[in-house]
């Protein structure tokens, strides 16, 4: 009787790992619902985490629907590519095209990816051998710093990292927590006077012809230089072409709304479903998260440092805070800079300037992912 009861009652099978993860799932949903911290990401991730950690529920086990979604959408790399079509359709590249210098900020803000990659590899198979990180694992961990969930999924899955689950969850967690992580770093690096610095508006608009040619030329340039980035940059720019061309409005709206919403729900639940306590609460996973925050922080620091240099060289016409938007967490990072700018100066509107750096970071993170996929196999 006791055995039969134990086989059907979930609470009799609760482990400390399951309890811990159920608490974490509650925190994620609380942050999304009560604090409105990127609810589109945190609510489905938190709910998926809850489903994965209910004993005997079977949602994340072999044959369960979360396991099926993981196999169909993560292992095949379909979810991140479909998400990129939606993201591309939602992005207006005009702020970037009006301020092409922001591509430098996007490039600078990828520094943390490669620095953390080297750190993880040196701690692992590269030198110290204190951690079980192979070259593929180190590259996949470093890409967390892009704050780009789809790219992190694509790179970790393609390189077959054994820490893919932790990497994906870390990437999406840090994306969602941009409003928590970035402000202290920015405030520590930029004085109130610097944060209050107003930037001049840009005169004129970008022609539709330029907007149409931009995604096509970007795919050709990036694809020919870094072929491994072609699927990611191709889907991103295809979505943007649907928006820019003006003749397929139904497809553009579908990509921005129905496609993006459906895949976001499925991806969020799947990512949460990868957070099973028995697999997730391990020392290696904690280290992956720690290295991820190192990558994210270094990216922010590098972007702001270049922003400060550009501010000096431009005669203080550039607010250094926009360098923090060189990461690809669009539009979360842009909102952070806009908020900090208004706090320092109620007449300081930096959103469009920050958005230029943010979308530049989106392109740069895809290129960084392609570089990883191109270089790592050469040294295996």
pTM metric for this prediction: 0.89
List CB contacts of 212: < 8 A, sequence separation 6 or more: 241, 244, 245
Rounded CA gap, 161 and 139, in Å? Answer: 9
pLDDT of residue 360: 94
Half-sphere exposure of 144 (CA within 13 A, CB side): 35
Residue partners of 330: CB distance under 8 A and separation at least 6: 87, 91, 355, 358, 359, 361, 362
Cα four-point dihedral sign 218, 215, 314, 341 = negative
Query: What's the CA gap between 41 and 319, in Å, rounded?
Result: 29
Per-residue pLDDT, 1: 41
CB atoms under 10 Å from CB of 221, counted, come to 12
Name all contacts of 133-136 with Cβ < 8 Å and 24+ positions apart.
Answer: 134/161, 134/162, 135/376, 135/379, 135/380, 136/160, 136/161, 136/376, 136/380
Beta-carbon neighbour count of residue 249 at 10 Å? 11
Q: Is the peptide bond before 258 cis (omega within 30 degrees of 0)?
A: no
Give mean pLDDT in consecutive 10-residue pieces for the chain, a chain of 380 residues: 56 88 94 87 93 92 93 92 95 93 94 94 83 90 88 92 85 82 95 94 86 97 94 96 96 97 95 88 86 92 96 94 91 92 94 93 94 88
- Please report, for residues 8, 21, 104, 273, the alpha-carbon distance to residue 277 in angstroms, rounded to integers and kept in the order given: 20, 6, 41, 10
What is the spatial distance between Cα 150 and Cα 141, in angstroms, rounded to a whole number? 14
The CB density around residue 213, as the number of other CB atoms within 10 Å, is 13
Q: What is the pLDDT of residue 9?
A: 67
DSSP-derived letter for residue 10 is G
Q: Exposure string (b/e) for 31-67, b if CB count within 10 Å is 16 or more?
A: bbeeeebbbebbbbbbbbbbbbbbeeeebbeeebebb
Q: Largest Cα–Cα distance in the chain?
A: 80
For residues 31 and 26, what is the distance between their CA atoms, to the nearest angstrom? Answer: 9
Element (H, E) at 103: helix 102-108
């Amino acid at each position: 009787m006791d055995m039969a009861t134990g086989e059907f009652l979930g609470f009799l099978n609760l482990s400390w790992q399951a309890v811990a993860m159920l608490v974490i799932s509650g925190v994620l949903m609380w942050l999304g619902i009560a604090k409105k911290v990127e609810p589109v990401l945190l609510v489905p991730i938190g709910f998926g985490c809850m489903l994965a950690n209910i004993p005997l529920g079977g949602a994340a086990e072999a044959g369960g629907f979360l396991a099926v979604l993981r196999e169909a959408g993560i292992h095949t790399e379909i979810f991140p590519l479909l998400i990129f079509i939606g993201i591309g359709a939602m992005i207006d590249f005009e702020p970037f095209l009006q301020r092409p210098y922001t591509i430098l900020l996007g490039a600078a803000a990828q520094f943390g990816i490669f620095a953390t990659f080297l750190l993880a590899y040196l701690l692992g198979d590269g030198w110290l051998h204190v951690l079980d990180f192979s070259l593929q694992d180190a590259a996949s961990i470093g890409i967390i710093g892009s704050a780009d969930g789809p790219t992190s999924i694509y790179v970790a899955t393609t390189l077959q990292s054994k820490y893919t689950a932790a990497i994906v969850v870390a990437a999406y967690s840090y994306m969602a927590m941009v409003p928590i992580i970035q402000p202290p770093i920015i405030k520590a690096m930029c004085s109130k006077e610097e944060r209050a610095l107003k930037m001049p508006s840009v005169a004129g608009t970008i022609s539709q012809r330029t907007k149409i040619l931009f995604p096509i030329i970007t795919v050709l340039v990036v694809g020919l230089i870094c072929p491994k980035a072609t699927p990611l940059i191709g889907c991103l720019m295809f979505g943007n072409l649907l928006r820019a061309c003006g003749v397929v409005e139904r497809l553009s709206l579908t990509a921005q709304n129905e496609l993006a919403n459906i895949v976001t729900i499925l991806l969020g639940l799947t990512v949460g479903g990868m957070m099973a306590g028995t697999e997730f609460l391990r020392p290696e996973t904690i280290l992956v998260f720690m290295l991820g925050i190192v990558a994210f922080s270094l990216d922010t620091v590098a972007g702001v440092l270049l922003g400060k240099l550009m501010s000096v060289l431009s005669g203080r016409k550039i607010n250094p805070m926009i360098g923090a938007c060189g990461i690809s967490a669009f539009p979360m990072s842009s909102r952070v800079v806009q908020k900090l700018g208004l706090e320092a100066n109620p007449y300081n509107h930096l959103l469009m300037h920050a958005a230029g750096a943010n979308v530049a970071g989106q392109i740069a993170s895809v290129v960084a992912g392609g570089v990883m996929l191109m270089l790592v196999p050469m040294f295996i």
